[in-house]
Structure 1
Amino acid sequence: MGSLSPAPSLHPSYHNHTLSRTFTMSLCEQCISGVRHEGTPEGKFEQIGGVECYVATPSGDYDKSKAVLFFTDAFGLALNNNKLLTDAFARNGYRTIIPDYMRGDPVPLDAFNKPGQFDMHAWIAKHGEDVWKPDVDNVVAALKAEGVTRIGTTGYCYGGPAALHLGYSNTSSATVMTHPSLLQPEDLERYRDESKIPLLINGCEVDHQFPPDFQAKADEIFKDFAPGYEKTYWEGCTHGFAVRGDISDPKVKAGKEGVFEATVKFFQKHL
């Protein structure tokens, strides 16, 4: 995969139009497909608040009052890509943590090789907010107890609702969602009405979970959002690209690195 440090030459483009669609509350095949990236994770596993976590820590001096919570896609800690991205955030100065909010039961990696065969509906039925919310809250409580005062969240796919959760309660300081799943417009309206935390959403061209019409709806919902709202849009990219994208495709590579750059800059601005 190589370094994911921000590439200043990348510039996101924007998209805004409306289509007719019924928003889904299930995961799609794009949520469990893609490319596995090579590399050796540099972090370590720790128990935080009684929850197994992968933790990547900056090699030099860093602000220990800040932390980033990385809410993964449905592959969780099992997918190397997620750990490599976490390491990349640490290289940019943030202690970054993946909580195992799936309690050791992510989508198995062999789903990559069985398109259309894994039962996503059954998996989602076992991994609702009643499962992940207590673990997320326990990790946050433990971080606060050790002196962390500002938390950034970055949620990918399945991790989008967890990022919003900490924004609803104004527990976090900066919220990022990238090709989020399992959301309805009402979730974004609630964030607008209840949260004082700035929000960045990274979207793409082909996404059954967060399609262009939903992205346009998000723009409408947050057009006057006082804490701050930003959005990036990536042509030629498909749901999951920022984690599981095929970086041999120049557009996907630009999108993947561009999303990372936008997220780091957002944290630099608000965290």
Structure 2
Amino acid sequence: MGRSLCSTTRCAICAALTAAAIAIGLIFILSYVYWWPTDNSTDKDGDMDNSVDPPSPEQPCPSGDFHTGYIATGSTVAVNSDVVAYLSRPVGTSCKGAVLIFHDIYGYGLPANQQVADDLAQNGYVAILPDLFRGNPWQPDMYEYVEWKTSHSQERIDGDIDATVSFIRSALSVDNLAVVGFCWGGLQSVFASARLSIDAAVAFYGVGITPDDLISMNKPTLLLHGQNDTIISVTDVELLESTLHNANRLLQSVDDLETGALRGPPSYVKIFEDVGHSFAHRGDMDDPVIRQASEEAFNDMYRWISRFTPG
């Protein structure tokens, strides 16, 4: 009977230990789920977490389609001892002027950026695309975006842009000049509109543009954005638009001729429906919506440049 009692006691102890182990395991699992939410799970406050690391101007824009299959038709030239540029000239047609292109964060060597230059050349413009990152563009496998961005000071970039403008005027012997920029380069277009002696500016989905930047613009400037842009929200774009409207500097359309009542150089803001960031030059052209928006945006660019650039 003594052995039976001991055996019973051992069984009770084993059962208790097993129950405790199960309880500890459940606590661990529940704690893991509670404190370490995955995408579309609940966080520790019970809220849906659908925006882990949302894009922002402090993060690189989506890479999109680099158009790596595109074969460029231009050439590389030396602006000076520090800066090289991709140059594309019109062939078989008279020159309408020059367009200085500001590339996105992926650099002047990206086929999608060079394709823009070649298209401008085919439409009669001398197109020059300087390497404003001096051989150090953002790469998709990099990690420290803010550190990389701050390594390229605006002061140094302005100097390289000024050198390129001088190169256009002297070496290329072209006086009429417009600027066109994409993403990071769109911001540079707005800066150029404020400080450079140019005829017109176009900014495709410029990142980081502030209302003060717009008020400082001194040249006709066209701003083009995508409705579904995750880097620059529609709310942000509407703020820019209202800033220009309140300053009485906003046209009603790209072709609006009523500029007499404006209190400064004209501008226009256009939002394209159902497309996101980089839709015009790095979008998926197999998507008919993106292709149509891209074609319309570039047509707007050409109309704007032609209207305000004499030639």
1-structure distance, mates of 2:278, 2:58: 12
Q: Show the counterpart of 2:168.
A: 143
Matched, 1:163 2:194: no
Q: Show the counterpart of 2:266.
A: 228
Q: Show the counterpart of 2:110.
A: 79
Assess if the C-alpha contact under 8 Å between 1:74 and 1:106 holds in 2: yes
Assess if the C-alpha contact under 8 Å between 1:202 and 1:232 holds in 2: yes
Q: Per the alignment, do residues 74 and 208 of structure 1 end up closer, same or farther by CA in structure 2, a change over 3 Å counting?
A: same
Q: Show the counterpart of 2:205.
A: 179
Matched, 1:213 2:235: yes
Name the count of aligned residue pairs: 236
2-structure distance, mates of 1:95, 1:81: 17
Q: Per the alignment, do residues 27 and 263 of structure 1 end up closer, same or farther by CA in structure 2, a change over 3 Å counting?
A: farther
Assess if the C-alpha contact under 8 Å between 2:210 and 2:240 holds in 1: no
State the shift of 1:145 in Å.
Answer: 2.5
Q: Show the counterpart of 2:178.
A: 152
* From 254, 263, 266, the counterpart of 2:292: 254
Of 161-170 and 134-143, the range deviating more from structure 2: 161-170
Query: Structure 2 unaligned runs (5+)?
Result: 1-54, 250-261
State, as a whole percentage, how many aligned pairs show the same letter.
25
Query: Structure 1 unaligned runs (5+)?
Result: 1-23
SS at match of 1:246: coil
Q: Show the counterpart of 1:95.
A: 126
1-structure distance, mates of 2:144, 2:290: 27
2-structure distance, mates of 1:32, 1:253: 18
- Across the aligned residues of Structure 1 and Structure 2, the Cα RMSD in angstroms comes to 1.9
State the shift of 1:185 in Å.
Answer: 2.0
SS at match of 1:236: coil
State the shift of 1:252 in Å.
Answer: 1.1
TM-score w.r.t. length of structure 1: 0.81
* Structure whose alpha-carbon radius of gyration is higher: 2
Assess if the C-alpha contact under 8 Å between 2:190 and 2:221 holds in 1: no
The residue correspondences of 1:108-119 to structure 2 (distance < 5 A) are 108=139, 111=140, 118-119=143-144
State the shift of 1:186 in Å.
Answer: 1.9
State the shift of 1:189 in Å.
Answer: 2.2
The residue correspondences of 1:112-131 to structure 2 (distance < 5 A) are 118-131=143-156
State the shift of 1:221 in Å.
Answer: 2.1
Assess if the C-alpha contact under 8 Å between 1:242 and 1:259 holds in 2: yes
Q: Which amino acid aligns with 2:158?
A: K
Q: Per the alignment, do residues 27 and 89 of structure 1 end up closer, same or farther by CA in structure 2, a change over 3 Å counting?
A: farther
2-structure distance, mates of 1:100, 1:32: 20
Q: Which amino acid aligns with 2:237?
A: Q
1-structure distance, mates of 2:131, 2:102: 9
Cα offsets for 1:201-243 (capped at 9, x unmatched): 1011122433212221222222222322222211111111112
Matched, 1:268 2:290: no
State the shift of 1:27 in Å.
Answer: 4.0
SS at match of 2:185: helix
Q: Show the counterpart of 2:65.
A: 35
Cα offsets for 1:42-92 (capped at 9, x unmatched): 00001124420001111123237x210110100112311111111011111
SS at match of 1:153: strand
Question: Structure with the greater relative contact order (CA < 8 A, sep ≥ 6): 1 or 2?
Answer: 1
Assess if the C-alpha contact under 8 Å between 1:67 and 1:152 holds in 2: yes
TM-score w.r.t. length of structure 2: 0.71
